[in-house]
Structure 1
Amino acid sequence: MRSFFSLLLILAASRLFAQQTKKDSIVKRDTINIHGYVYDEAGKPVKYIELRSSQKYIDFDRVNITTRTDTSGHFTLEGVKFNDTLTVEENILYASTPIYNEGSRFLIIHLPFAALKDVNQKGQMIISAKRTRAKTVPSFIRKSSDDPYCPFIGLHLAPRYKSGNERFIQLVNQQVLYPAKAIENNIEGTVQIAFKVEKDGTLTGFKVLKGIGYGCEEELINAIKRLGGWIPGIDNGRPILMTQTVSVEFKLTDK
């Protein structure tokens, strides 16, 4: 009987030792601990953003190594591969680019800002009209100002139309009229407008980023002003000013 209990104790101890060895191997074998800071293009810390290791398995065990930056942009990742690729969670503020680490234990990461997106990115807006004369080369095309336009960046939620952006696209298509002067002169092309959505949802600071003249820009701006009803961008639960863009194609048809 005593030999039987001794055998059970030996088996239990062996199993515990094997589990500890396996656990240690997941964390320690061929891995390193890294830390560092994440900043945006302006040099400001990027807070509470998730970083993830690309590795999926260590010693046939599935792993999920992630962390979040603190208020200073600092992060720590433990038990990652020596040559690992880090990814950043999807975010409307920053471009999603892989971060390659070649064995460094300390990283300074700079995230590029994401490109400003049109409200109608997923839906085309075309204002069409029938030609009244044969198509010719436009005699006048107005370009945007040479001064660079710097949109306001730094929010966690983009502004949106009160009834949804898809409804906004429908209303713009319904309300924007093709200016008669543009039809007479065979003017067609894309108009892009930028405007600011204030903290209370009002629209200000309209600017023509791309124009074709003959009243097309004014027609689009006036339609957007009439529609109104925007919900402002949100930063950590607080409304904040943000720039939005809208592109519309003015196109003439022969039928």
Structure 2
Amino acid sequence: MGHRARKFLPWMGALAVVVTITGLMGASSVMAADPQSTDEGAVRQMEGAVSLEKEQIEEYDPWEPYNEKMFSFNHDKVDRYVLKPVATVWDYLPDPVQEHLGNAFDNVAMPRRVVNNLLQAKFKGAGTELARFGINTTVGVVGFFDVAKKWGLEQSDADTGQTLGKWGIGPGPYFIFPFLPPLTVRDAFGLVGDVAMDPINYFAPLAASFGRRGGDVVNARSQNLELYESVEESTVDLYSAVRNAYLQRRQKAIEK
């Protein structure tokens, strides 16, 4: 074990507990996950936050004073003192290991994507998801390898909040819960549906489910340490930037 890894050993004894706590942050769709996507969703939202020019989109935020406090708590306390340190330790895993773990977490989320593709009448997307799951679970060794992508089958992501939007339900107020990434009221209800479609919840104890979700969040965070840091350093009003980027991305997901 190298010197850099040894100096982080004091963190490892508490890793299981911390992962369970951070699992609460990943029970969604970013700053985390579409709000349910903790990896690609987080990256897209953070990338959007550094955009120099905001697109015109309605930002209905009647609870802004409360939301700013919760955003500050999630960012300044939970992310800075819990998630980022754990993700920094996690980043000592080789990049291929992190990628394979991300693939496996993603593979388990197949039911959400299939059901919501069907509810949005995206039958090709639902079929692609079923094919991806079959290939990656077998040839890809329980999803650790994204063989389907190499064979030209790209993921067709969809979530319940997006489905509700397709059905004409408006986003409602922007809202931030403690320990969770930003949401709208519509996406909060969608999150409940997405969590209900997570098969891990039915086959593992609650703590194990949180642990798996926490591992997903930590893994995604560790793969984007530099991106998060660059956004924090280059954005003057991070709260407004994240809000705008989140609402833009959700609107585009519904319109596509």
| Structure 1 or 2: more strand by fraction | 1
Between structures 1 and 2, the one with greater helix share: 2
What TM-score results when the alignment is normalised by the length of structure 2? 0.29
* Max Rg structure: 1
Higher relative contact order (CA 8 A, sep 6+): 2
